[in-house]
Amino acid sequence: MSGTERLVDPDLELVPGPDEERAVEAALRPRSLDEFIGQHRVREQLSLVLEAARRRDGVPDHVLLSGPPGLGKTTLAMIIAAEIQAPLRITSGPAIQHAGDLAAILSSLAEGEVLFLDEIHRMSRPAEEMLYLAMEDFRVDVIVGKGPGATAIPLTIPPFTLVGATTRSGLLPGPLRDRFGFTARMDFYEPADLEQVLTRSSGLLGVPLTPDGAVEVAGRSRGTPRIANRLLRRVRDFAQVRADGVVTREVARAALLVYEVDERGLDRLDRAVLQALVGSFGGGPVGVSTLAVAVGEERETVEEVAEPFLVRAGLLARTPRGRVATPAAWTHLGLTPPRRSGDGATLDLFPDEADHSRGLPKRPDG
């Protein structure tokens, strides 16, 4: 999302406009903590923070939500505003490139308003430094003029709640992290929670979904509600066109085969990375740049889109010498894992080359 968007009514859709997919995603968002599925520890802690603020008749502490994409950080920000019945202002780190951009947003906040700052780790350094003072003292210093004649004019802003979201909390400076009164790490969902998410979404979408169909889709959703809802919509399309409209286990399997999502949730890119690693490089180790060239993708795409899930699924390992396919990756591709030496070199595949690379004499023929 670019720029800044203000939602006076938190129940309004986050993303207005003609884009049907994004409008459907907005419609599926829970509107309260009671509706929010999963993240039980975070939900309980957050409910205490909000209830305590209501009883004090004050604004809640600033909240930092971290974790991989698609786990509900934006949804929780909207729920926070709804729970305390406050307006919601939405912006993102990349949209704030200058301190003046942030000063304009902060100076226009109403008392008690919730400011949601997505991708907060991508905010510029001057804006970060201005945010320190705003979060702690509800004040910003506006610099007028340049050079020795520059003057700082303090500007008081009304108390507000900042909700920051980040997928890379390690990139946040320590002073910024320390100013959040409550920090929460969002974890990947268990299959049982994803089944509940799918059951709720199917009811909102009017999609007949059997329990075994929910199990099948949940098992291929990478522990991520956003992916689960997206797969549900694609399975719905398949069921309406090529079946009787009911999403059963068999229908879900047939649909996800068409959309190239296998039983472990790997898509075309994931399998291309594993197949290149195994087929072209004997399982590795190989550098990520070389691997990206082999699959015809940018390095960033392989490193940030495919690799995190493959590592979490135990199919790929990062080593000092490069990426290595694990035995589970070979098995998943229907191949027999090779034996490896202590330094990761492959012994069973291309034995002469493996021995030669380690400075050993080649084995005699036969």
pLDDT tens, position by position, 144-162: 656 676 676 778 889 999 9
Of 91, 161, 166, 167, catalytic: 167
Q: Report the C-alpha dihedral over residues 309, 34, 203, 258, rounded to 10 degrees.
A: 0
pLDDT at 303 over 60: yes
- To the query of whether residue 74 is one of the catalytic residues in this protein, the response is yes
Kindly list the distances between the CA atom of residue 119 and the CA atoms of 65, 73, 194, 220, 309, in Å, as whole numbers in the listed order: 10, 11, 25, 27, 20
CATH of 191-258, one of 1.10.760.10, 1.10.8.60, 3.40.50.720, 3.40.50.620: 1.10.8.60
Q: Is this prediction's pTM over 0.85?
A: no
Architecture of domain 268-357: Orthogonal Bundle (1.10)
pLDDT confidence bin for 234, thresholds 50/70/90: very high
- The CATH architecture of the domain made up of 5-185 is 3-Layer(aba) Sandwich (3.40)
Q: Which of 29, 75, 101, 118 is labelled catalytic? A: 118
Give the percent of the chain with pLDDT over 70.
Answer: 83
Active-site residue, from 4, 29, 74, 166: 74
Residue extents of the structural domains in the chain:
5-185, 191-258, 268-357
Q: Is the pLDDT of residue 228 over 90?
A: yes
Q: Which of 89, 220, 222, 226 is catalytic?
A: 226
Residue (of 241, 250, 243, 245) closest to 217 by Cα position: 250
Residue 250 near residue 256, CB atoms below 8 Å? no
The yes-or-no answer on residue 210 being catalytic is no
* 312 is annotated as an active-site residue: no
| Mean pLDDT value of segment 73-81 | 93
Is the torsion defined by CA of 172, 177, 180, 185 positive or negative? positive
- Alpha-carbon separation of residue 34 from 39, 43, 226 (angstroms): 12, 9, 19
pLDDT tens digits for range 161-218: 999 999 988 888 888 888 899 999 999 999 999 999 999 999 998 989 999 999 999 9
